[in-house]
A and B are shown apart, each in its own frame.
Chain A
């Protein structure tokens, strides 16, 4: 019933032409302007891009947590509830997330149980007034048929699993007694307490030092294999992408402009934006005299409308009369490599930026 994906597994998440807009006093901000991608079971999908490109809004849209005045205006988000067996993922029910009431019982039964989320700021993502155990157990009690004591036992168990020392004692501690790295581990424990099929990690290591970052990434990789999790990993750090992800989507102004498996993306980037991003980071072997190439210009104001390809004002390969005339369509250039650029296709979409 489901289309199989590259690794022969059904997609856990399938997003098609998703548009999420923010209706503010200043005008309409098109945070997501037609995002489509599938995440196969057991894979880690990376979403990269500069600030404000819509990475976080994508995950919030799927979780149905888009804050007001934002709203999903178009598109579909299919979440495949399923069972994890040793042969792979068996889909039980396909849920169209956009049709659910955001705070209704069905959306809430999926949130926290089958979809988990880890946030960027470990210092503020745990409630300072409650113990770690209380916060982890709260999710367990909510979604599983257990009493308080059993929930606390499970909380101790998962807190131990994420590598926090002395879990029985640690669950009685308050967030301010833990270091940043420990808090992020606690947050991982919280997000994974009900063994979700799909995990969103929204820049989970951005606020941490590199040593702690490496530990948290290792931990997530390990738990992913162990629990059979599918991860959408949001970051602006290309190094982290290379380390964590199987496939990568590069986002620019609410659209995915290039998507490919991680190797292809790093060694054979097609979109000028991807290429520019890669040029802007240092790599091993570069000489000290070599200057890094920043992308010129800035990300445009979200309320602005740009005719044609949204990247054309900053693009080195800008073709006058072409790139500013039509929005490039998604073009498949083989083997799961998608690019939205008129260099590779003359197929433009009807201008719909208003």
Chain B
């Protein structure tokens, strides 16, 4: 088991290096640079810079350096913790990333926990009560969840929360807490807000996973070892949860790796609609503005989050299914 984990961590670093190289190249790929973007802005305002000034700035920022040199400059500082400056915000990229990354991680993890819990419970119920009225009702909601896009759901939930429940929507805190220091009240206020993005981001995933859970469990319930468990005289509850559900879970863990990117990209759209202080909107803007060091830093940290998520999924799978450990 330990060997397995070490090997997986090794793969993680190799993948990360590839992600950094490819990501950097793609961000550099479009013509132009932030300098041109800034020049245009100044010219629009009526000002201008002399050719010599522009030349000096180009040299200062290394705009015309070959890409490998740029990459080297970036990566060699990156490992020491200096992620470069954001052109747009005139701040270290590091400050911006670390101010927002925790919210993305918190929301993603909570969304995962939410969708897993709901889909296991719902999936087990509908598999063990197949073709009952409630099973059909669940199926209807599953298909709605699968087909409604997240941004639309976000808007609907916003309207519903504001009009019917009278809640303050948008953002993660009420106005009075936005700049307040952490306190119990602020935490309670956070909980009041955070369920909306969790439900909205998780809806699609939950609908999908509960479908997967239902069909897996139906397969497993037909397996001979479930009959064996019953022939031992076990309680039906124990037959289902110990012998069947455990074996129906591993496709769910396998799709965990796939559902993480879906959650992070879904989170971007929802965060823009709901005005959440997560990485998504800022990353999106940095890409549009060619604010490259900020964009690259976001890319790396999102990639790290994903890779760690996948690593955890692999370890969980190995723990769940003894057949994987010995390969």
* Chain A residues at the B interface, C-beta cutoff of 8 Å: 63, 65, 103, 107-113, 116-117, 119-121, 124-129, 138-139, 142-143, 174, 176-177, 187, 190-191
User: Known interface pairs A174-B323, A176-B323. Does A127 touch B231 (Cβ–Cβ under 8 Å)?
Assistant: no
Known: A124-B223, A176-B323. A108 touches B228 (CB 8 A): no
Report whether B224 and A138 are in contact in the complex, using a CB–CB cutoff of 8 Å.
Answer: no
Residues in B with CB closer than 8 Å to A65 are 227, 230-231
B319 to chain A, nearest CB (A): 10
CB distance from B171 to the nearest CB of A (A): 44
Q: Which residues of A contact B234 (CB under 8 A)?
A: 108, 112, 138, 142
Q: Does B236 contact A (CB under 8 A)?
A: yes
List 20 additional contacts besides A109-B233, A112-B231; criterion CB under 8 Å: A65-B230, A103-B235, A110-B233, A111-B232, A112-B232, A120-B224, A124-B224, A124-B225, A125-B225, A125-B227, A125-B228, A126-B225, A127-B225, A127-B228, A127-B247, A128-B323, A129-B321, A139-B232, A176-B322, A177-B326
Contact B247 A113 (CB under 8 A): no
In the docked arrangement, what's the CA distance between A128 and B220, Å? 11
Residues of B with C-beta under 8 A to A111: 230-233
Contacts of A109 in B (CB 8 A): 233
**Which residue on A lies nearest to B323, using beta carbons?**
A176
Contacts of A128 in B (CB 8 A): 225, 247, 321-323
Residue B285 CB within 8 A of the other chain? no
B residues with a Cβ closer than 8 A to A are 223-225, 227-236, 243, 246-247, 320-323, 326
Contact B247 A63 (CB under 8 A): no
Instruction: Check B246–A63 contact: CB distance below 8 A.
Output: no
Distance, CA A111 to CA B231, complexed state (A)? 6
CA distance A113 to B243 in the complex (A): 19
**Interface Cβ pair total, 8 Å cutoff:** 70
Contact: A113 with B233, CB < 8 Å?
yes
Query: Could you say which residues of chain A place their CB within 8 Å of the CB of B224?
Result: 119-121, 124-125
B323 proximity list for chain A (CB < 8 A): 128, 174, 176
Residues on the A chain within 8 Å of B229, using CB: 127
20 contacts between A and B (CB under 8 A): A63-B231, A65-B227, A103-B236, A108-B233, A110-B233, A111-B233, A112-B231, A112-B232, A126-B228, A127-B225, A127-B229, A127-B243, A128-B321, A128-B322, A128-B323, A129-B247, A129-B322, A139-B233, A142-B232, A174-B322
Q: Which 5 residue pairs across A and B have the least CB separation, nearest first?
A: A112-B233, A111-B233, A112-B232, A108-B233, A124-B224
Specify the main secondary structure of chain B where it touches its partner: helix
Q: Report how far A152 CA is from B199 CA in the complex, Å.
A: 45
Decide if B320 touches A129 in the complex (CB within 8 Å).
yes
**A190 touching B322 by the CB < 8 A rule?**
no
Min CB gap B317→A, angstroms? 12
Across the two chains, which residue of chain A brings its CB closest to B239? A103
- For B230, what are the chain A residues with a Cβ–Cβ distance below 8 Å? 65, 111
Q: Whole-angstrom distance between the alpha carbons of A346 and B256 in the complex? A: 69
B303 to chain A, nearest CB (A): 32
Residue of A nearest to B244 (CB): A127
Question: In whole angstroms, how far apart are the Cα atoms of A177 and B323 in the complex?
Answer: 9
Identify which of A110, A125, A129, A139 gathers the most chain B CB atoms within 10 Å of its CB: A129
Q: Which residues of A contact B243 (CB under 8 A)?
A: 127
Which residues in A have their C-beta under 8 angstroms from that of B320? 129
Distance of A236 Cα from B229 Cα, bound (Å): 25
Considering the chains assembled together, what is the distance between the CA atoms of A269 and B225 in angstroms? 38
What's the minimum C-beta distance from B229 to chain A, rounded to whole angstroms? 7
Complex Cα distance A65/B231, Å?
Answer: 8
User: Closest CB of chain A to B288's CB: distance in Å?
Assistant: 48
Q: Chain A nearest CB: distance from B243 CB in Å?
A: 5
- Nearest chain A residue, comparing its CB with the CB of B321: A129
Q: How far is the CB of A137 from chain B (nearest CB, A)?
A: 11
CB of B323 to closest CB in A, whole Å: 5
Question: Smallest distance from the beta carbon of A194 to chain B beta carbons, Å?
Answer: 9
Q: Which single residue of chain B is at the shortest CB-CB distance from A134?
A: B242
**Which residues on the B side are within 8 Å of A139 (C-beta)?**
232-233
| A113–B147 CA distance with the chains assembled, in angstroms | 50
Question: How far, in Å, is A257 (CB) from chain B's closest CB?
Answer: 28
Q: Measured between C-beta atoms, what is the minimum distance from A119 to chain B in Å?
A: 6
Q: Specify which of B227, B231, B232, B246 is in contact with A129 (CB 8 Å cutoff).
A: B246
**Residues of chain B lying within 8 A (CB to CB) of residue A190:** 228, 232
Known: A124-B223, A129-B246. Is A116-B231 also a contact (CB below 8 A)?
yes
CB distance from B315 to the nearest CB of A (A): 16
Whether B233 pairs with A142 at a CB distance below 8 angstroms is: yes
Q: What separation, in Å, do the CA atoms of A317 and B81 have in the docked complex?
A: 93
Chain B residues lying within 8 Å of A117, measured Cβ to Cβ, are: 228, 231
Measured CB to CB, the closest approach of chain B to A168, in angstroms, equals 19
A212–B204 Cα distance when bound, in Å, is 51
A110 contact set on B, CB distance < 8 A? 233
| Chain A residues in 8 Å Cβ range of B231 | 63, 65, 111-112, 116-117, 191
A80 to B233 CA separation, bound complex (whole angstroms): 18
A108–B235 Cα distance when bound, in Å, is: 7
CB distance from B179 to the nearest CB of A (A): 51
C-alpha spacing A116/B230, complex, angstroms: 11
Q: What B residues does A120 contact at CB under 8 A? A: 224
CA distance A65 to B236 in the complex (A): 11
CA distance A125 to B322 in the complex (A): 16
Residue from the set A139, A177, A190 with the largest chain B CB neighbour count within 10 Å = A139
